[in-house]
Each structure stands twice: as C-alpha cells, then as structure tokens.
Amino acid sequence: MKKILLIGELNKAIENLNETLILDFQVQVCSMGTEEIKVMLQIAKPDLIIVSLIGSYEINEAIFKLLAEQRIKIPILTIGTERECAQYSQYYETKQFEALYRPILKRVLLERCYSILGLSENNKKQEVYEWYNKKQKKSIMVVDDSSLVLRNIKSMLEPRYTVYVANSGKQALKFIPEKKPDMILLDYEMPKMDGRQTLEKIREMEEWKDIPVVFLTGVADRQHIYAVLQLEPAGYILKPPSVDKILEVIEEALGE
C-alpha cells in the first residue's frame, strides 16, 4: 500500500482525515513540529505528504520551507480554505506542491490522492483487496503511555493486523482477557507499572504466558538493551520505529 504522512494539528479534523485515508493507504500522523517532521520523513518514507491547515490558527511557515528545502521528490498536498492556502502560494510554483480547498468530500480527497500517486480507483481497490486477503488478520495489542506513539503504530499496523491499544500496563491487563491478542507490543518505560512489571503479570497467568511480547524502548544504550533482553521478550524495537522494522519484528515473533 502507498504511504501517506499526514501533518497537522492533532485535533478532530486530523482524526477525520486519517479515518478517510486509512482504509486505502498506510497513514502516519505527525504534529506540526519541524523536528518531528524531519524524523518522520526518515522513518515513514512516505509516497505523499498531506499538510492540514484545518484548526491551525497560526501556521509555522518553517514547515513549508523545510519541505521545500529538503528537496525531496515527494508530492505535497495542502488542505485548507483558499485564503489559508494562499499564504503559501509561493510554494505552489513547482509541481511538488498542490492545494485542495475546503469544504471537501471524502471521495474528492481520495480521488485526488489516487491521481497524485498515479493510481486508478480500480487498481487501488485491487491492491487493498490483495493486501487484506493475503492471510487472515492476526491481532496485536500496543501498550504505550504516549497517545502519539499509539496513534502512529496503530496506523502502521492496521492495514495488516487488527490493532488494540492500551495506554498503561494496568489497562492492558484489563483488556487482554477480552481482546485475546496474538501478540503484544509493550512500552518498556511507563509510569506506575512499567514494561517489566506488566510482562511479569502477563507471565503469571497460564492462559496468557505464551503470548509473544515485543518491547518498545526509547533508550538505545547497551546496558539498557541488555536489561530488556534479560527478560527474554520475543523481540525489541527502538523508538521511533520504522514501518519496515516493526513489520519485520512482528512477522518473526508471530512466525509468519
């Protein structure tokens, strides 16, 4: 599936855009911070960037400068009112930048994305069909105290897996009997009940102890990684994870 990096204020509008795109594309959401955008460009390797101006009362022009100065050959679609988009008209002098004015219908947005990415609707439907039906979907529970991490990993995995999220170890322990996930992505550094404590609780239960658990960690020093591996997880992933890396570790843990 084609990859889209969706940049904007983390509000209801961005959620609606994500819901419109997620069934047809692999979407990652990113806030308006330039540093985060730099990181996500390297990780996500998107085929299309969408910048939403909806609900942004003060847009940082540095974002547009960054995207222009990066000299990346990635098409950029800006969504906003004609007046909002007009502020950045200088960037539309190249074919890399396009604008789509509000209000827009979901179908119009999808058609524009198809067009920019060189896809016909029939080809897109076939690609999605093959992706979803390659094998029966397995379920993954993602446990992290960061809503942004949960949102991004969920968008990475949803095209291939059924994804459940929990924002704490305590919530994960509550959801596991109900959701019965095939595997768990577990943040190692969490307040109150951290990844180690959560894993210990999971392994105490006979019916859960064989669920593969992969740790997510934002600390890359050797001593920390050694401590993580001492718990004998099914794997570990450094944050922020790339799509290719997270899928590789998951497939290995699930034996796919």
Contacts of 187 (CB under 8 A, 6+ apart): 143, 144, 145, 146, 149, 195, 215, 216, 217
Taking residue 192's Cβ as centre, other Cβ atoms within 10 Å add up to 9
Query: How big is the CA angle at 196 (ends 190 and 198), to the nearest 5 degrees?
Result: 75
Residue spans per domain, the chain: 3-131, 135-254
CATH class assigned to 3-131: alpha beta
- Summarize pLDDT for 99-110 with one digit per residue, the tens: 888 888 888 898
CATH class assigned to 135-254: alpha beta
Shared fold status for 3-131 and 135-254: yes
C-alpha distances in Å from residue 151, one per residue of 29, 52, 91: 7, 17, 30
CA atoms 169, 26, 45, 138: torsion sign: positive
Whether residue 6 is predicted with pLDDT greater than 80 in this model: the reply is yes
Q: Which residue has the tokens 């002098």?
A: 93
Whether residue 80 is predicted with pLDDT greater than 80 in this model: the reply is yes
pLDDT-based confidence at residue 60 (cuts at 50, 70, 90): low
* Rg of the Cα atoms in the chain: 20
Of 138, 139, 230, 42, which is closest to residue 215 (Cα–Cα)? 230
As a whole number, mean pLDDT of residues 134-152 equals: 85
Scored b (16 or more CB within 10 A) or e, 166-190 reads bbbbbbbbebbeebebbbbbbbbbb
